[in-house]
Amino acid sequence: MADEEQTSEVRTPAGVLNSSRGRELPDGETSRELLRQMALIRRFEEEAGRQYQRAKAGGFLHLAIGEEATIVGTTSVMAPDDYLIGTYRTHGHAIARGTDPKNVMAELFGREDGTARGRGGSMHIFDGDRRFMGGYGIVGGNLPIAAGLALASDYKGTDDVTVCMFGDGASNTGNFGETMNLAALWSLPIVFLVENNLYGMGTAIERHSAVTDLSHKAEGLGVPGERVDGQDVVAIRECVADHLEIARRDRRPTLVEAFTYRYRGHSAADPEVYRDKHEVEEWQRRDPIEIFARRLIEAGTITEDDLASIREQVEAEVLEAVEFADASPEPPLDSLYDNLYVFEKEHEGWYAVDERTPDPFRGEREREAAEDERVRELHEAGAAYGGQSPRSGGGSGEGPAEETDAPADSAQSEEEGEVDAEQAAESRQQGPGGIG
């Protein structure tokens, strides 16, 4: 833990942060990798935003631009078998864990090669192979699950630690208090990491949390914490490494509060009426990628040319991911029921009462089989609306009666992409206009 004596003051736009973290740079190779990962996530997120404007990605899109140091600093000190679990803002978390950006982009496109074959979308990324145990759309829903992951590790006698990341807003959920108590009571190996970006959607932290120093929020429940500069990748790294060690060795949970900021709106459709532009600009002056790159150049770890080549490399990787996602096929309609149940043992009985797929479930032998042809045609007829209705967040403005009149939104070219962006903006005005 931080040594009081050596504490220095870090000025953030949200106030002064006392920290002794992050004084010493990691070795050259590690430093370059931290920079590369942060740059990759930044570029991926920018491109995801662009593809959303072009209606290639749908739903809500939550970008982590500005929060890259917190993500990468954390994952860079995790062991391969440690678990990570997060929120709906976790494209970067998966990528930092090693998931190929191609598969993340394909998930945003809702395609066959996506991390969940287009089932989950942007808010629900998952990569079990890399122990990224998911992004979750329900605020606070991932906290108890983290406790369960850690319970399993503890039960099995492994020394794997679970890192559970969530937002400042999530610290107000019942799940927060209940999970903290249980994790402390059962001595579970967890590092809770709150990505405090000062807002839960459009509500500023002073308006949503009685205690705004979140590092202390779980103390009364048995989980002590530490606040760290979330824009300093080295500080985060050091801090999380210490807390991982506490979980691994001392078998007890702790909380890290990373002070960070998201530059973009809560989701892509957010008009951001709740904060002023200057605040965003002020935070951008402490940009995590920029400050780390400068520091590495000053230290002679990298040159300006190295920086340029990292940027080129991630640019190429992200564009390749877009190309890959675009070429990936749509999931077949008859996969609609895949993985709803595990059918290893055959049970008798009807599982479902739906004809959308000709042979959905075993056990339905009694049901009068519908004509395959008719079922297929109806299924196609429904799916065809997917090529016609305007993209997420925007109905056509007049509800379902106009859906079929709305323009097709598969942008083929750059110009069409711009038109789509306009239509998307217009439909957001008139349609449901959700900003979740």
Partner 1 sequence: MAAMRMREALNAALREEMERDESVVLMGEDIAVFEGAFKVTQGLMDQFGERRVRDTPISENTIVGTGVGAAMAGLRPVVELMTVNFSLLAFDQIINHAAAIPYMFNGQVRVPLVIRMPGGGGHQLGPTHSHSFEAMFLQIPGLLVACPSTAADGKGLLKAAIRDDNPVIFVEHETLYGIRGEVPDDPDHIVDFGSAAVRREGGDVTIIGILKMAHEAERAAETLASEHGIEAEVIDPRTLRPLDLDTILESVRKTNRVVIVEEGWPHGGVGANLAALIQEQAFDHLDAPIQRVTGADVPMPYSKRLEQSAIPHPEHVVSAVLETMIGAKPRA
Ligand X SMILES: Cc1ncc(C[n+]2csc(CCOP(=O)(O)OP(=O)(O)O)c2C)c(N)n1
Note the residues at the interface with Mg ion (CB under 5 A): 167-168, 197, 200
89: partner contacted, choices Mg ion, partner 1, ligand X, none (Cβ within 5-8 A by kind): ligand X
Span 58-77, contacts to partner 1 by CB under 8 A = 58-60
Nearest C-alpha neighbor of 36 from the set 233, 195, 231, 283: 233
Is 409 buried (19+), middle (13-18) or exposed (0-12) by CB count in 10 A?
buried
* Closer residue to partner 1, CB minimum distance, 185 or 333: 333
The minimum distance between CB 109 and partner 1, in angstroms, equals 9
- In terms of DSSP bridges, do strands 190-196 and 162-167 run parallel, antiparallel, or are they unpaired? parallel
Answer yes or no whether residue 89 interacts with ligand X by CB under 6 A.
Answer: yes
Please say which residue, 126 or 166, places its beta carbon nearer to ligand X: 166
- Scanning 4-12, 38-46, 196-204, 314-322 for contacts with ligand X by CB under 6 A, the matching segment is 196-204
Q: In whole angstroms, how close is the CB of 271 to partner 1 at the nearest point?
A: 9
Binders of ligand X among residues 236 to 295 (CB under 6 A) are 266
Site string for partner 1, 376-395 (x = CB under 8 A): -xxxxxxxxxxx-x-xxx-x
The size of the interface with ligand X (CB under 6 A), counted in residues, is 17
Report the residue number, 292 or 324, with the smaller CB distance to partner 1.
Answer: 324
Question: C-beta of 45: minimal distance to partner 1 in Å?
Answer: 18
- 82 touches ligand X by CB under 6 A: no
> Pick from 44, 83, 132, 136: which binds partner 1 (CB under 8 A)?
136
336 binds partner 1 (CB under 8 A): yes
Cα–Cα distance for residue pair 168/166, rounded to 1 Å: 7
Report if residue 197 touches ligand X, rule: CB under 6 A: yes
Question: Quick check: 139 binds ligand X (CB under 6 A)?
Answer: yes
What's the start-to-end Cα distance of the chain, in Å? 37
| Shortest-Cβ-distance residue relative to ligand X | 167
* Residues binding ligand X (CB under 6 A): 87, 89, 137-140, 167-170, 195, 197, 199-201, 266, 436
